[in-house]
Structure 1
Amino acid sequence: MVLFSLVASHAEIDLETVARLSAGASEVPLSVLGRQQEILGAVALATCNRYEIYAEARTEDDVDAARAAVISRISESSGLSEHTVSRAFETRSGPAVSRHLFAVSAGLDSAVVGEREIAGQVRRALTGAQQDSTASPALVRLFQAASKTAKDVGARTALGSRGLSIVSVALDLAAELRGGPAGTGAEFSGSRVVIFGTGAYAGATMAQLTGRGCSDISVFSASGRAQTFVATRGGTALSSASLEGAVAAADILIGCSGSEHRVQAADIVRVRSESEQPLVILDLALTRDFDPAVAELEGVELLTLESVRLAAPSEQAESMSQAADIVAKAADSFEEQQKVRSVDGAIVALRRHTMGVLDTEIARVRAQHGCTAAAEEVEFAMRRMVKSLLHIPTVRARELAVAGEQDSYLAGLEALYGITVQEPAASAPAQCPVDPAADTA
Structure 2
Amino acid sequence: MTVLALGLNHGSAPLDLRGRFAIPTEALGRSIQGLRDHLAQARPEVAILSTCNRTEVYVGLPASACPRHALALAEPAMEWLAGHGGTPSGELRRHSYFREGAEAARHAFRVAAGLDSMVLGEPQILGQMKTAVREADSAGALGTTLHQMFQRSFAVAKEVRSRTEIGSHAVSLAAAAVRLAQQLFDDLPRRRVLFIGAGEMIDLVATHFAAQKPLQMTVANRSLERAEALAQRLHATQMPLADVAERLGDFDIVISCTASSLPLIGLGAVERALKRRKRHPMLMLDLAVPRDIEPEVGRVDDVYLYSVDDLAHQVQVNGARRQAAVSEAEAIVSAGVDSFSQWLQQRSAVPLIQALQTQTEAWRQAELQKARKALARGQDVEAVMEALSAGLTRKMLHGALSELHSSAGEAHQQWASSVQRLFLRSGS
Alignment TM-score, normalising by the size of structure 1: 0.73
Distance change in 2, residues 1:114/1:40 (3 Å): same
Give the one of 330, 336, 341 matched to 1:335. Answer: 341
Note the alpha carbon deviations across 1:241-261, whole angstroms, 9 max, x for none: 543565322121001114124
Aligned to 1:307: 310
CA drift of 1:174 comes to 2.2
2:94 paired with 1:87: yes
Seq. identity, %: 26
Distance change in 2, residues 1:94/1:207 (3 Å): same
Aligned to 2:9: 9
Report the AA paired with residue 7 of structure 2. Answer: V
Aligned to 2:204: 204
Alignment partners' CA distance in 1, 2:232 and 2:350: 48
Asked if structure 2 preserves the Cα contact closer than 8 Å seen for 1:111 and 1:312, the reply is no
Asked if structure 2 preserves the Cα contact closer than 8 Å seen for 1:39 and 1:56, the reply is no
Report the AA paired with residue 320 of structure 1. Answer: V
Asked if structure 2 preserves the Cα contact closer than 8 Å seen for 1:38 and 1:65, the reply is no
Aligned to 1:176: 183
Alignment partners' CA distance in 2, 1:209 and 1:357: 74
Distance change in 2, residues 1:225/1:352 (3 Å): farther
SS at match of 1:325: helix
Aligned to 2:249: 248
Note the alpha carbon deviations across 1:187-216, whole angstroms, 9 max, x for none: x43432111112221122122222343473
Distance change in 2, residues 1:12/1:76 (3 Å): closer
Note the alpha carbon deviations across 1:300-359, whole angstroms, 9 max, x for none: 211112212322224422111111111111111111122122223444555677789999
Deviates more, 1:269-278 or 1:106-115: 269-278
Alignment partners' CA distance in 2, 1:337 and 1:327: 15
Alignment partners' CA distance in 1, 2:206 and 2:361: 61
Report the AA paired with residue 193 of structure 1. Answer: V
Point out the structure with the larger helix share: 2
Alignment partners' CA distance in 1, 2:78 and 2:269: 38
Alignment partners' CA distance in 1, 2:8 and 2:72: 19
CA drift of 1:122 comes to 1.1
2:292 paired with 1:292: no
Asked if structure 2 preserves the Cα contact closer than 8 Å seen for 1:23 and 1:78, the reply is no
Aligned to 2:34: 31
Asked if structure 2 preserves the Cα contact closer than 8 Å seen for 1:116 and 1:164, the reply is no
CA drift of 1:283 comes to 0.8
2:50 paired with 1:42: no
Asked if structure 2 preserves the Cα contact closer than 8 Å seen for 1:41 and 1:134, the reply is yes
Alignment partners' CA distance in 2, 1:243 and 1:309: 26
Runs of 5+ in structure 1 lacking a partner? Answer: 181-187, 363-407, 417-441
Alignment partners' CA distance in 2, 1:237 and 1:360: 81
Distance change in 2, residues 1:244/1:7 (3 Å): closer
Give the one of 328, 331, 334 matched to 1:322. Answer: 328
Distance change in 2, residues 1:49/1:251 (3 Å): same
Alignment partners' CA distance in 2, 1:331 and 1:216: 49
Asked if structure 2 preserves the Cα contact closer than 8 Å seen for 1:7 and 1:89, the reply is yes
Alignment partners' CA distance in 1, 2:362 and 2:208: 63
Distance change in 2, residues 1:319/1:295 (3 Å): same
Give the one of 84, 105, 116 matched to 1:109. Answer: 116
Asked if structure 2 preserves the Cα contact closer than 8 Å seen for 1:219 and 1:230, the reply is yes
Report the AA paired with residue 288 of structure 2. Answer: A
Report the AA paired with residue 101 of structure 1. Answer: A
CA drift of 1:296 comes to 2.6
Asked if structure 1 preserves the Cα contact closer than 8 Å seen for 2:195 and 2:255, the reply is yes
Asked if structure 2 preserves the Cα contact closer than 8 Å seen for 1:206 and 1:233, the reply is no
Distance change in 2, residues 1:117/1:212 (3 Å): farther
Aligned to 1:60: 67
**Structure with bigger gyration radius:** 2
Distance change in 2, residues 1:98/1:351 (3 Å): same
Asked if structure 2 preserves the Cα contact closer than 8 Å seen for 1:170 and 1:303, the reply is no
CA drift of 1:43 comes to 0.9
Aligned to 2:390: none
Note the alpha carbon deviations across 1:59-94, whole angstroms, 9 max, x for none: 322234312222222232222122222333221101
Deviates more, 1:218-227 or 1:348-357: 348-357
Runs of 5+ in structure 2 lacking a partner? Answer: 369-413, 423-428
Report the AA paired with residue 204 of structure 2. Answer: A
